[in-house]
Amino acid sequence: MRVSEEDTMTQIFTLASASPRRRDLMALTGWDVRLAAVDVDEDVNPGEDAHALACRLAQAKAKRAAEESSSHGILLAADTVVEYEGQLLGKPIDNADAIRMLTALRGRVHSVVTALAIVPPGNGALRTEACETQVPMREYAMEEMNAYVDSGCAFDKAGGYGIQDGDFQPVALERMVGCFANVMGLPLCHLVRTARRLGIEPPNDVPVACQAYTGYTCPVYDEILRDVS
């Protein structure tokens, strides 16, 4: 049976992001992924919290990418925001800013919110959903923190750290109850759930692939994927 171009496009994701972490996580799904990074104004509006900011920016990225590509399969954009005690933490601008963020987060729990904005094939109605993880940080030593910042790994990451950075291991994973991939920037089970609502199933067993990749035993994936209403 001949497969139409339209049917083929329904299985292709266009990822509107330049993040190598999101690219690596998308590879775990088995879907065909194309990259189409976009730039949007990421200034925070007055009174905007992490959830509102992440959703607004993810939607803005998706809309911009849709404007720039008329044939994109499923278009996916995401935005991740770190919030601690009401303060939104972006990407550090220099070493001092990274040290400031990591010092504030050390030994405490903060929130990471990632919003997904998805445009179905044919520029259908935009869908948005967000995932929040409470992240407990360990009591890392100043020497560890300084070495991590000096390595350059703290940059291009909201909050100044990467949960996946094994040499530093900033997060107390034994105390975390939530989505690891969300903290990396792309909550995969939320993505799968949304795709299923569109009638699209990933080629791979995503929870198995994600846990193998991260080395984290996820306690929440089953609950997330049960909710397909």
Is residue 93 within 8 Å of 78, Cβ to Cβ? no
Domains of the chain: 5-226 (3.90.950.10)
When pLDDT is averaged across residues 91-96 and rounded to a whole number, the result is 95
Q: What is the pLDDT of residue 150?
A: 97
Task: Judge whether residue 8 has pLDDT over 90.
Answer: no
Q: How many residues does the chain have?
A: 229
Instruction: Give a three-class secondary structure readout of the chain.
Output: CCCCHHHHHCCEEEECCCCHHHHHHHHCCCCEEEECCCCCCCCCCCCCCHHHHHHHHHHHHHHHHHHHCCCCCEEEEEEEEEEECCEEECCCCCHHHHHHHHHHHCCCEEEEEEEEEEECCCCCCCEEEEEEEEEEECCCCHHHHHHHHHCCCCCCCHHHCCCCCCCCCCECHHHCCCCHHHHHCCCHHHHHHHHHHCCCCCCCCHHHHHHHHHCCCCCCHHHHHHCCC
d(CA 49, CA 14): 28
- pLDDT above 50 for 208: yes
Q: Give the chain's mean pLDDT.
A: 92
CA–CA gap between residue 133 and residue 179 (Å, rounded): 6
Q: State pLDDT tens for residues 64-78.
A: 998 887 666 899 999
Handedness of CA 186, 69, 60, 154 (dihedral sign): positive
Per the listing, tokens 């996820």 go with 218
Q: Is the pLDDT of residue 4 over 50?
A: no
For the residues 29-36, what does the mean pLDDT come to? Answer: 94
User: So which residues are the catalytic ones?
Assistant: 79
Residue 178 has pLDDT above 50, yes or no: yes
The pTM score is 0.92
Hey, what amino acid is at 198? L
> Of the given ranges (5-9, 32-36, 124-128), which has the lowest mean pLDDT?
5-9
Predicted confidence at residue 182, as pLDDT, reads 98
* pLDDT grade for 6, boundaries at 50, 70 and 90: very low
Q: What is the pLDDT of residues 96-150, one digit of tens each?
A: 999 999 999 999 999 999 999 999 887 678 999 999 999 999 999 999 999 999 9
The count of C-alpha atoms lying within 13 angstroms of the C-alpha of 54, restricted to the half-sphere facing its C-beta, is: 28
Tell me which amino acid residue 200 is. I
pLDDT at 5: 44
